[in-house]
């Protein structure tokens, strides 16, 4: 890369530098491939890397630019795609052995839109098998490791994408989110990620886990890059920014049972909230009634729908699943139709209650995770004196946005006591995705936590 262009630019800045001919797309791709070469053996962030294809795409991007043709906002910028998105130039395996030598082909709608906007698909990222887990330790390609401390998990199921962005291998990576699978690794790896309003992005070509909750979405270092990616993926023009400061914005800080967290996490999130309040926001505490029951109902729906999708695979190739994933799928078969319907009925009432709460505040605020990234192999963690499974610890807060279908963005807000990242979540009203990203951008203008890089311990 040209010496005039720093290696830690955002996707937005990289695209601008390419358009201004300060750097070529080929140079940018070579830098990305070099970063992958340095970090892949330690993080295991990728399942496959398309060296030749990426360089060919970059060469084509440079030729088009020389002729005055710019594909779009990400012209020449390399990105990574989670291995549960169909991508026509790379096979899709969902990090599982179930598909064997018959990986799925095709192209997800959102991937196609990013490609048309000039993005270069550099590879597929590792994930928790079939997106059915929140640690990223279960994968046919082996576990993904956290760039901040290789002895800790990335969170999942989009852990490969989280690690790839955190370690500056790419500036944007795609994740999917059914119960926090974008926001969990975003928080654990110190980057930003958004789960859009349910239905905002096409699910076409994204392998499902639970169709009631699944959302595609981008992961990046900054909220600005998230907004660029989201508008491309949604096929819409980003509205003009309507939130430039937090003055008068009403924060509803979620408290109460089910939202307890470790002391260091609480301190970092409180500091972040104070920064927003100093910018003019109004703070109040709110509680989510029946949150514990809602968490259980989210699980019931997800388990039942996942098992329904995997019915044929479970019959034809049960040995292809990792034991933990297979046991969850088998458990989902035991959920009776009447219980599934009852869970969906409960959900309808619960959603209306949360929407009513958002009439008295503008956004809901909470930690993304109650703890920093646990050590790899830890089956349990302790939160506020209560022991819980690592899986439940990772999902006990993020599930809320999936269950309600509301948009949620996780942004970094500093290191915890072990120097591992802490994330804060903002939840908005349905359809307020870009307004939510306006607020996240403003927070990142007030702070610099998103600029921190791991030292790859």
Residue 70 is classified by DSSP as -
What is the C-alpha to C-alpha distance for residues 411 and 186, in angstroms, rounded to an integer?
7
Would residue 96 show up in a list of annotated catalytic residues for this protein? no
> CA-CA distances (angstroms) from residue 129 to 187, 329, 410?
20, 12, 23
What is the C-alpha to C-alpha distance for residues 254 and 285, in angstroms, rounded to an integer?
6
CA angle at 88 for the pair 85 and 94, rounded to the nearest 5°: 30
Q: Is 455 exposed, middle or buried (0-12, 13-18, 19+ CB in 10 A)?
A: exposed
> CA-CA distances (angstroms) from residue 66 to 19, 62, 63?
10, 6, 5
Would residue 82 show up in a list of annotated catalytic residues for this protein? yes
Q: Which of 24, 181, 210, 410 is catalytic?
A: 181
What is the C-alpha to C-alpha distance for residues 435 and 242, in angstroms, rounded to an integer?
7
Residue 373 is classified by DSSP as P
Q: Which of 82, 124, 195, 299 is catalytic?
A: 82
- Whether 167 contacts 39, CB under 8 Å: yes
Residue 46, φ and ψ in degrees, nearest 5: -110, 145
What is the C-alpha to C-alpha distance for residues 16 and 12, in angstroms, rounded to an integer?
6
Structure-block tokens of residue 240: 């003009």
Q: Which of 112, 157, 192, 307 is catalytic?
A: 157
3-state helix, strand, coil in the chain (%, to 5): 40, 20, 40
Would residue 181 show up in a list of annotated catalytic residues for this protein? yes
SS3 letters across 301-354 = HHHHHHHHHCHHHHHHCHHHCCHHHHHHHHHHCCCCHHHHHHHHHHHHHHHHHH
Pairing of strands 78-82, 120-125: parallel
Counting other chains too, the contacts that 377-384 makes at CB distance below 8 Å and 24 or more residues apart are 377/137, 383/260, 383/261, 383/262, 384/260, 384/261, 384/262
What is the C-alpha to C-alpha distance for residues 422 and 415, in angstroms, rounded to an integer?
6
Closest-CA residue to 113 (of 17, 31, 214, 216): 216
What radius of gyration do the chain's Cα atoms show?
21
- Residues serving a catalytic function are 82, 157, 181
């Amino acid at each position: 890369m040209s010496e005039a262009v720093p290696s830690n630019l955002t996707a937005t800045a990289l695209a601008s530098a390419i358009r201004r001919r300060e750097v070529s797309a080929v140079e940018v791709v070579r830098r990305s491939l070099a970063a992958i070469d340095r970090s892949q053996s330690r993080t295991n962030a990728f399942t496959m890397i398309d060296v030749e294809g990426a360089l060919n795409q970059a060469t084509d991007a440079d030729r088009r630019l020389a002729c005055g043709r710019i594909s779009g906002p990400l012209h020449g910028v390399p990105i990574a795609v989670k291995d549960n998105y169909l991508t026509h130039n790379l096979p899709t395996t969902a990090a599982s052995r179930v598909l064997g030598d018959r990986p799925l082909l095709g192209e997800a709608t959102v991937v196609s839109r990013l490609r048309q906007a000039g993005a270069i698909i550099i590879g597929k990222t590792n994930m928790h098998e079939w997106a059915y887990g929140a640690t990223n330790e279960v994968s046919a390609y082996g576990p993904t490791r956290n760039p901040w401390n290789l002895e800790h998990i990335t969170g999942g199921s989009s852990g490969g994408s989280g690690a790839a962005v955190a370690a500056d291998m790419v500036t944007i990576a795609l994740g999917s989110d059914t119960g926090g699978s974008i926001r969990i690794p975003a928080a654990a790896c110190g980057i930003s990620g958004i789960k859009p309003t349910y239905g905002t992005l096409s699910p076409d070509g994204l392998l499902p886990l639970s169709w009631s909750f699944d959302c595609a979405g981008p992961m990046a270092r900054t909220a600005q890059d998230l907004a660029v990616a989201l508008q491309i993926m949604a096929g819409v023009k980003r509205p003009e920014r309507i939130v430039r400061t937090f003055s008068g914005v009403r924060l509803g800080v979620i408290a109460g049972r089910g939202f307890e967290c470790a002391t260091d996490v609480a301190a970092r999130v409180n500091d972040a909230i104070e920064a927003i309040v100093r910018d003019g926001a109004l703070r109040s505490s709110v509680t989510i009634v029946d949150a514990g029951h809602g968490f259980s109902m989210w699980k019931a729906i997800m388990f039942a729908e996942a098992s329904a999708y995997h019915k044929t695979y479970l019959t034809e190739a049960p040995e292809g699943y990792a034991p933990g994933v297979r046991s969850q799928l088998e458990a989902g078969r035991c959920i009776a139709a009447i219980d599934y319907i009852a869970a969906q009925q409960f959900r309808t009432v619960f959603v209306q209650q949360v929407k009513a709460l958002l009439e008295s505040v503008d956004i809901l605020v909470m930690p993304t995770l109650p703890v920093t990234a646990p050590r790899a192999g830890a089956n349990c963690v302790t939160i506020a004196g209560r022991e819980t499974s690592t899986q439940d610890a990772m999902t006990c807060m993020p599930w809320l946005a999936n269950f309600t279908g509301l948009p949620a963005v996780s942004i970094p807000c500093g290191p915890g006591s072990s120097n591992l990242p802490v994330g804060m979540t903002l939840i908005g009203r349905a359809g307020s995705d870009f307004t939510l990203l306006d607020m996240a951008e403003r927070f990142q203008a007030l702070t610099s936590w998103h600029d921190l890089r791991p030292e790859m311990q």
